[in-house]
Amino acid sequence: MENHSSLQDNPMQHYKRAYQIFDVQSNSVYIWDFSGQMTQFVGDGENCPNDCLGQATEEALLELQVYGLPNMDKDTVARKPETAMNGTFRSRHSDSNLSIHMNDTVESQSSSEPFLGPQSSSRRYGETEVLGLTGLQNLGNTCFMNSAIQCLAHTPKLIDYFLGDFKREINYENPLGVNGKLALAFGDLLRRLWAPGGMAVVPTLFKSTLEGFAPQFYGYNQHDSQEFLAFLLNGLHEDLNRVKHKLYTQIGYTEGIPDQQMADEYWQIHLARNDSIIVDLCHGQFRSKLVCPVCRRVSVTFDPFMYLSLPLPSTTMRTMTVTLLSTDGSMPPSQLTVTVPKCGRCKDLIQALSTACSLQDDETLFVAEVYNHFILRYLEDPSDSLALIRDHDCLVAYRLPKESENSQLVVFMHQERNLGFRCLFGIPLVTRISGISDGLQIHNAYMKLLRPFLNTDEDGSDDTGNSDYELAKMETILSNLDDLSSSDDELEHYSDFLFRFTNERGIEGQRINLKKPLDLSDTGSKLHVLVSWPEQMVRRYDTSRLSLLPEVFEPGISAIKPQESVSLSKCLEGFLKEEPLGPDDMWYCPSCKQHRQASKKLDLWRLPEILIVHLKRFSYSQLLRDKLETFVDFPLDELDLTGFLSHDSDPSLNHYRLYAISNHFGSMGSGHYTALIYHGKSWYEFNDSLVEPLKEEDVKTSAAYVLFYRRISGT
């Protein structure tokens, strides 16, 4: 028989179900009626009155007394031989939720000596012990596995299935499965988790079985609980697939066919190859529409899904601090802090900076990342992701006049002598110079850029206004720069600065003669110049201001940001919105006979009984891995998905209640997973082997990673 509580269950079925779950002899099981609806009966039901075989119309509270439990796993329960147990079995007809309570009694032992060891995670209320609150020991970075398993171990109907005779459905012939090994190991683990009076279970056997055919989970590295969950559900499905021989079936011509008819046909094709308890509970169906951007050809398909992976909306914001520099020497450096979308693009950052600095129509911003006193990269592509910019990076925005035909971008890097060695210092300065013909133009442009950094006299003045001094100094410089064979030290004795051509990293190149024409035909769009500072110039300018470069985000300095929040509905809207396919995911248009970057629109069509929602907190790129700590406000008791379906359906099938959460705390690679479970009428936190009650107001946190909802029948 199928182990499933429903409105059709009667006391005799309750008795048989308890007998089957615990695999005990009939004379060891006694059922007592506490509901007042049925008459007390004992044994195997022979003394049960006729009216107890009828249908139960309301929730009935029955007590199940179990003595001995001869088949209890010794790794799960540690008890003395003379110990006897009795307990309470509850079946809640309204939501098919299994909850078993056990009472501890002692015959030849002091009642003050506990049966449960110090690591036990079963919970006792007076003399009553609630089953299903058994923890899983951490074998070493296996919290990701423990969290996912606890969520599945408290999934309605899945519990009934694996505590029943599931072995008869194992598909030993399926080449996509593992000969039933995964299903058997998982079923054994669930029985140990639901055994009465259990210590925290050590899942060594399950993990070793898993490693035998899933080498990605070998060893004790941290993994993603959602990736593990997806693998486990797929593996259980293939091991338990009722379809022994999968036939290939292709959908026929669909143009002009009503959506409902097409959806049903796609679903039947899916079921013809996939039929298991996982499909029964977790599989739903998308309506997917593709539109060609050229010929407007529309293609509609209906694809199955096992869970929803929802991106957190791109409206989630991030603050970034950027150093703003003028390129004409008119203003000292300043810092701008702007707010941009965390998943935005470089164009969003440039737009925010332009607004913050009141950029004029004839100006533009040149944004770059500075590292070790040289420009590491230029943020020139507006479509580049801002996720590539980390909090400890340093950004500079140069305020430039708009490019003219004969102007060249010149990047100045600074060099000084330190302990006998020359090294870079400060922020590179940038300007545009039109029609460069000789080194004197480069010299004058650099001097202009340095004006905001001049040290002032006590009365607030400087010597830049003394034209006689400047002219005399320049004549001395030019007269001594004729001899290019002179050493750097000799030249610096006469010159304010020494200029050399260089590359992007500041490697010394050819010396620039200020009096002679320059050949810049091979320099490209950017001319890099290295400027050596003599000691007297280091004293004359405030180099500390030239070196002030804050990071993009410094938590210890910046004000604490309010926690970002978004509703689960907004996440769903973002997932289902129409958007173009990526360049690597082009669609072949049957009308154009070419691959096109079509627009794609997803809609929910068929909802599963168990809805698993994955919140995509982790973002990956070639250079960066990051976690989003956005708080997602998700409903606990009433998730209504009616508005997200693309067709009219039975409203009673669109309402869900939350019953489990897989949480992730910390950062990638060094975080920790736990599970929150709604059991009976209370929430509990499953933190590996430790299980503790939880207040309902503490359920919603920014650690929520995978949400488990079950359909509410009859809403």
**Residues carrying an active site annotation:** 143, 672
Tokens of 347: 């164009």
Cα atoms in the Cβ-side hemisphere of radius 13 Å centred on 43? 5
100 to 68, 75, 563, 682, 712: CA distances (angstroms): 17, 20, 40, 14, 22
- Phi and psi at residue 488, to the nearest 5°: -60, -40
653 to 262, 610, 657: CA distances (angstroms): 21, 11, 12
CB count in 10 Å sphere of residue 651: 11
Give 281: exposed, middle or buried? Use CB within 10 Å, 0-12, 13-18, 19+: buried
Q: What letters, b where the CB count within 10 A reaches 16 and e where it falls short, cover 492-501? A: beebbbbbbb
Tokens of 279: 């499909």
Dist CA 89 CA 77 (whole Å): 19
Dist CA 621 CA 643 (whole Å): 34
DSSP category for residue 120 = B
Q: Residues with Cβ < 8 Å from 252, sequence gap 6 or more?
A: none
Closest by CA to 290, choosing from 606, 595, 572, 648, is 595
Please report the DSSP string for 191-253 in residue order. Answer: HHHTSTTPBPB-THHHHHHHHHH-GGG-SS----HHHHHHHHHHHHHHHT-S-SSPPP-----
Dist CA 364 CA 411 (whole Å): 16
Dist CA 282 CA 607 (whole Å): 9
Q: What does the radius of gyration of the chain's CA atoms come to, in whole angstroms?
A: 36
Tokens of 668: 């990638």
Q: In the chain, what is the straight-line distance between the N-terminal and C-terminal CA atoms, in Å?
A: 29
Dist CA 279 CA 271 (whole Å): 8
DSSP category for residue 33 = E
The number of angstroms, rounded, from the C-alpha of 130 to the middle of its chain's C-alpha atoms is 34
Q: Residues with Cβ < 8 Å from 268, sequence gap 6 or more?
A: none
Closest by CA to 119, choosing from 194, 53, 35, 201, is 201
Query: Are the CB atoms for 505 and 520 separated by under 8 Å?
Result: no
Dist CA 193 CA 338 (whole Å): 51
Dist CA 16 CA 127 (whole Å): 25
SS3 427: strand
